[in-house]
């Protein structure tokens, strides 16, 4: 279903959005750049501006800069959400001087340990930006990469102190083995801090091609799992699939030596989200009722919720019946963008 937009609609939408900040209310992510890229990538460019008009009330103005980030002081600004505008400007200047893949290769290993900040939304935004750039370079698409990497730097948050548990051979069984956090209360930062034990799946992988294959397996397993476990938290459990898929999308644009570390970070993110929002038990898998991928995408678009569309985007990448069932489960569980 990949039908990248060549009409200029994505550029128009990104230009609209770059007047807005990466968050609203100090913590809630602006999902619009990711959604419009997903719609354009799947042949729905004609719906982009209509969807964006509906999402407009969730946008805030671009934040006020504090002080320039420079080559000399960037470490001091890392992980400071007040510096989002400064970071976006800094990365934008780098992209004006260097090829975008070089900038990505420089910043990916610096930011990868902090993939978990911002509820993993920054790396997801970068994954969408990379897919758009691989389809065709333009000034708005380069600016979108600056916004994504800058947001990631501002929300950079590592995790530490996690006890490694034995893992099963497969990603699916290892996700089944993830122990829920002891006190599932609070928002994402509080729950992330409560993650203490995770299986160490694929921890011995060093070969780049094996890393890519395992990451593909993880995306499939996490997407399938949503169909039976998404009721644990219909919004947040989306990220168990979309975060590793964002990493997978970026691999081909990165040096091969970064592929294995990327797999390990993606596994930790997916497993942590699984632990943070685990339901009491699964529900039975309900097969997708004979829907084509296009029909599932149309249902997600009609529903309108940003996480539903983004999970559907990942489900279309996976492409099998269980993935489509997961997308339809998200439609069923989630509140629509515009309440009925």
223 in any annotated domain: yes
Tell me: the pLDDT tens digits for 184-207? Answer: 999 999 999 999 999 999 999 999
Cβ atoms of 262 and 126 within 8 Å: the answer is: no
159 in any annotated domain: no
Q: In this predicted structure, what is the pLDDT of residue 288?
A: 79
* Residue 28: strand pairing partners: 24
1 in any annotated domain: no
Instruction: Say how far apart CA 309 and CA 14 lie, in whole Å.
Output: 17
**What share of the chain has pLDDT > 70, as a percent?**
99
Q: In this predicted structure, what is the pLDDT of residue 7?
A: 85
285 in any annotated domain: no
- Domains in the chain: how many in total? 2
pLDDT band at 222 (very low <50, low <70, confident <90, very high): very high
What are the distances in angstroms from CA 194 to CA 241, 266, 289? Answer: 20, 18, 38
- Residues 16, 131 within the same domain: yes
- Residues 178, 59 within the same domain: no
Q: In this predicted structure, what is the pLDDT of residue 8?
A: 94
- Residues 93, 53 within the same domain: yes
100 in any annotated domain: yes
pLDDT score of 4 more than 70: no
Q: In this predicted structure, what is the pLDDT of residue 290?
A: 86
- Residues 141, 214 within the same domain: no
Question: Element (H or E) spanning 220, and its range?
Answer: helix 208-229
- Residues 13, 150 within the same domain: yes
Write down which residue in 276, 311, 327 finishes a domain: 276
pLDDT band at 258 (very low <50, low <70, confident <90, very high): very high
Cβ atoms of 247 and 219 within 8 Å: the answer is: no
**What share of the chain has pLDDT > 90, as a percent?**
95
- Residues 177, 125 within the same domain: no
Within 10 A of 332 (CB to CB), how many other CB atoms are there? 14
- Residues 99, 69 within the same domain: yes
- Work out the average pLDDT over 157-171: 96
- Residues 265, 202 within the same domain: yes
- Work out the average pLDDT over 137-145: 98
Write down which residue in 154, 178, 198 finishes a domain: 154
Q: In this predicted structure, what is the pLDDT of residue 287?
A: 85
Cβ atoms of 271 and 199 within 8 Å: the answer is: yes
Q: In this predicted structure, what is the pLDDT of residue 6?
A: 78
Tell me: the pLDDT tens digits for 278-331? Answer: 999 999 988 878 899 999 999 999 999 999 999 999 999 999 999 999 999 999
189 in any annotated domain: yes
- Residues 115, 249 within the same domain: no
Computed over every residue of the chain, the mean pLDDT equals 96
Q: Which residue has the tokens 């919004």?
A: 235
Q: In this predicted structure, what is the pLDDT of residue 2?
A: 55
Tell me: the pLDDT tens digits for 55-80? Answer: 999 999 999 999 999 999 999 999 99
Structure tokens at 159: 């995790």
Instruction: Say how far apart CA 105 and CA 93 lie, in whole Å.
Output: 16
Within 10 A of 340 (CB to CB), how many other CB atoms are there? 4
- Residues 136, 180 within the same domain: no
Tell me: the pLDDT tens digits for 15-49? Answer: 999 999 999 998 999 999 999 999 999 999 999 99
| CA-wise closest residue to 217 among 266, 179, 253 | 266
What are the distances in angstroms from CA 310 to CA 36, 245, 293? Answer: 10, 11, 14
What are the distances in angstroms from CA 292 to CA 46, 241, 309, 321, 333? Answer: 20, 21, 16, 9, 20
Write down which residue in 245, 276, 307 finishes a domain: 276
- Residues 135, 221 within the same domain: no
pLDDT score of 134 more than 80: yes
- Residues 172, 60 within the same domain: no
289 in any annotated domain: no
46 in any annotated domain: yes
Could you list the residue range(s) of the whole structural domain that residue 75 is in? 9-154
Q: In this predicted structure, what is the pLDDT of residue 289?
A: 82
């Amino acid at each position: 279903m990949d039908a990248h937009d060549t009409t200029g609609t994505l550029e128009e939408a990104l230009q609209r959005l770059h007047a807005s900040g990466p968050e609203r209310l100090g913590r809630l992510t602006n999902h619009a750049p990711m959604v419009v890229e997903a719609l354009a990538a799947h042949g729905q460019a004609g719906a982009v501006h209509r969807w964006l008009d509906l999402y407009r009330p969730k946008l805030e103005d671009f934040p006020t800069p504090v002080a320039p980030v420079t080559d000399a002081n960037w470490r001091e600004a890392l992980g400071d959400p007040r510096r989002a505008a400064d970071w976006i400007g800094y990365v934008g200047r780098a992209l004006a001087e260097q090829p975008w893949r070089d900038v990505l290769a420089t910043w990916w290993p610096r930011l990868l340990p902090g993939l978990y900040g911002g509820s993993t939304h920054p790396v997801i935004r970068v994954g969408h930006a990379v897919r758009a750039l691989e389809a065709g370079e333009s000034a708005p698409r380069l600016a979108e990469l600056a916004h994504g990497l800058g947001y990631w730097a501002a929300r950079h948050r590592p995790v530490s102190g996690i006890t490694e548990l034995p893992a099963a051979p497969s990603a699916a069984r290892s996700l089944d083995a993830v122990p829920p956090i002891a006190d599932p209360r609070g928002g994402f930062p509080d729950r992330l801090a409560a993650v203490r034990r995770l299986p160490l799946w694929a921890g011995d992988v060093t070969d780049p091609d094996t890393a890519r294959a395992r990451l593909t397996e993880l995306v499939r397993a996490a997407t399938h799992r949503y169909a039976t476990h998404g009721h644990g938290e219909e919004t947040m459990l989306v990220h168990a699939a979309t975060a590793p898929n964002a990493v997978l999308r970026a691999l081909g644009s990165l040096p091969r030596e970064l592929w294995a570390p990327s797999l390990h970070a993606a596994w930790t993110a997916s497993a942590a989200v699984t632990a943070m929002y685990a339901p009491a038990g699964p529900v039975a898998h309900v097969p997708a009722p004979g829907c084509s991928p296009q029909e599932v995408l149309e249902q997600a678009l009609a529903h309108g919720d940003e996480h539903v569309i983004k999970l559907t985007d990942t489900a279309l990448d996976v492409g099998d019946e269980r993935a489509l069932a997961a997308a339809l489960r998200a439609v069923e569980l989630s509140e629509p963008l515009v309440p009925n």
